[in-house]
Amino acid sequence: EKRGILISKSAAKILGAHVGDAVMIYLTTQEGQANTSELIVVGVFNETSLFGYAAYVNIEMLNELINIPPLSATDIALYFKKGLSENNYLHRLHALLSSQNEVLPLVGRKELADALAKDERTYVLALISLDANLDTIKDLLDALTIFIYLLFGVFLLIIMTGIMNTYRVILFERTAEIGTMRALGMRKEKVLAMFLLEAFFLALSAALCGLIAGSALLFGLSNISLKSIPGAGLFTNNGYLMLFLKPSHIIVGLLLLIVAVLLAVQGPARRASMLSPAEALREIV
């Protein structure tokens, strides 16, 4: 229906609108003039946008309201098959259009907005990649990633402090064992290496157990439908979380954890290796 509108559940709830109700929309034309129109709600849908206020109308009617030709569009989205290079096709399309039209350079979203604001022509052609179009979101995600890394660093420091204190107690309780090994002729370097190797295998075992448990948890979450959550379509695949484990991230995480444990154990293990048999026996007594 030409005068119909599809609105999201969130918008319908705010407006108190149902299918068949009339709603008034307010638009601004290309010339900056205000325009209004009364439309009939022909459907209510589950939104996939983050804020949940998406709406769909007939494009010919919309163009009429904003005073542009019937078959015109302000934005046209191109979808590529999986595996194809977006940037490669973008540059090829830009070259093709530039051979017949005047096209703005390939820039980011902010730069493009500035260029369009300064351009006095009525119609301008411009291309922008999805990555460039989502610069703001990418900046937000980059900031979130930095915060996560900082949080991970704090987490490692807490782990190191806990392990250091725990290992001091453990090695104190094993003073007799250390004294016996030293009395039997074991060198300080071997005592130190033994405790570091022990800590290494404990850290590796704990990390692998955590990886298995975390993977199982992610697998379980990936089978839970999130379709009913507003905005879930932005970060899900057909309403389900995508299980994605990047090997490089796993390896880096394991290495950082093991290094942190070894650094935490280094001090107590070194002090334990410096114990002489006589000192160990005195502490036991």
Q: How far apart are CA 254 and CA 62, in angstroms?
A: 55
- How confident is the prediction along the chain (285 residues), in pLDDT tens digits per residue? 688 999 888 888 888 899 999 999 898 887 788 999 999 999 998 775 555 677 889 888 888 888 888 878 777 878 777 767 777 888 888 888 888 888 888 887 778 778 877 877 767 788 888 777 777 777 777 888 899 889 988 988 898 888 888 888 888 888 777 777 877 788 888 888 888 898 899 888 988 898 899 888 888 888 887 776 665 666 677 777 777 778 888 888 888 888 888 888 888 888 877 877 776 666 555
Q: In 3-state terms, what secondary structure has residue 57? A: strand
Predicted pLDDT of residue 14: 86
- Tell me the sheet residues that pair with 23: 39
> How many Cα atoms occupy the beta-carbon half-sphere of 15 within 13 Å?
18
Amino acid letter for position 102: E
pLDDT at position 19: 92
d(CA 160, CA 184): 32
Rounded CA-CA distance 162/157 in Å is: 9
Q: What are the phi and psi torsion angles at 242 (to 5°)?
A: -95, 125
Determine the pLDDT at residue 43.
Answer: 92
What is the reported pLDDT for 281?
A: 60
CB 275 within 8 A of CB 181: no
pLDDT confidence of residue 233: 61
Find out whether 1 and 58 touch, Cβ atoms under 8 Å.
yes
For 27, phi and psi rounded to 5 degrees?
A: -130, 165
- Is-contact 126 100, C-beta < 8 A? no
Residues 6+ apart with CB under 8 A from 39: 3, 4, 5, 22, 23, 24, 25, 57
Q: Is the pTM of this model over 0.85?
A: no
Q: What's the CA gap between 76 and 81, in Å, rounded?
A: 17
